[in-house]
Structure 1
Amino acid sequence: MTSTADIAVLVGRCLIACLFLAGAAQKVLDPGSSMALLTDRGLPDLLVWPALGFNALAGLALVAGWAVRPVAALLALYCGVTSLFHFLPGDPWQMSIFVKNWAIAGGCLVLAAHGPGRYVLGGHKHGVT
């Protein structure tokens, strides 16, 4: 029998994945805004492309339930690093994004600790769970 917790883990995993998939789509549709954010911080704008790839692959892995523990741990680290781009104490909007990144990192850490849950693509847990 399906438990509410099993469904909650699946929905939570997919909601977190949507954030990263949307980030990948944004980078495809408008790479310039992410490139500007990178160059404003003294980083090469070409870093947008590996970030896009990571966002897309990690998001798909979360949806599918594949290698959720290591992927979620990497996403938590990614959120921590990218939060620094938004640490602008004089800008309330950027500070809200900074805090949201840490909240998303928290959700990723829960997935890293507990794995994908019962529902994964293919009906069984792939790789490291």
Structure 2
Amino acid sequence: MRYQRYEDWTALAGRLLIAALFVAGFVQKLTDPAPAAALLTGAGLPGWLVWPAALFNLGAALAVILGLWLRPVALMLALYCIVTSYFHLIPDDPWQMSIFVKNWAIAGGCLVLSALGGGRLVLRRGA
């Protein structure tokens, strides 16, 4: 029983840490959308896509924190990280390559969260 509590609290801590990244992404896009819009337009996409991305970051982060629809949301976040890593695939720029690799690592964490769930400290179990 004691081990189960450890798993639940570490799962919650992991969810909070993963969600923090997406909350920060929301705040960054909200307060200074120009860099994200530039990445989008540089790839031939409309810059206004920064706003749906910001809303997705916030909504998904809240779902992960609360444990609502956790498995499908975590899967969508993994796909989001994989797709958005494309914008950072700039081999001549070590900083962008670091972000590229981090996106794939975060995608891995989201896939584990999707597969195993978020523990018992969630608002909606089995999701």
Whether TM-score is above 0.5 comes out as: yes
8 Å contact kept, 2:23–2:58: yes
Give the aligned CA root-mean-square deviation in angstroms.
Answer: 1.1
Identity %: 61
Which of 26, 31, 34 is matched with 1:32 structurally? 34
Residues 1-129 of structure 1 aligned to structure 2 (within 5 Å): 1=1, 3-121=5-123, 124-125=124-125, 129=127
In the TM superposition, structure 1's runs of 4+ consecutive aligned residues that sit over 4 Å from their partners are: none
Long gaps (5+) in structure 1:
none
Counterpart amino acid of residue 67 in structure 2: G
1:77 alignment partner AA? L
Q: Distance in 2 between matches of 1:67 and 1:114?
A: 13
Q: Which runs of 5+ in 2 are unaligned?
A: none
Kept after mapping to 1: 8 A contact 2:67/2:122: yes
2:74–2:111 contact (8 Å) kept in structure 1: yes
Rounded Cα–Cα distance in structure 2 between residues aligned with 1:27 and 1:68: 23
- TM-score, normalised to structure 2, is 0.94
SS at match of 2:102: helix
Measured in 2, the distance between the counterparts of 1:67 and 1:16 equals: 15
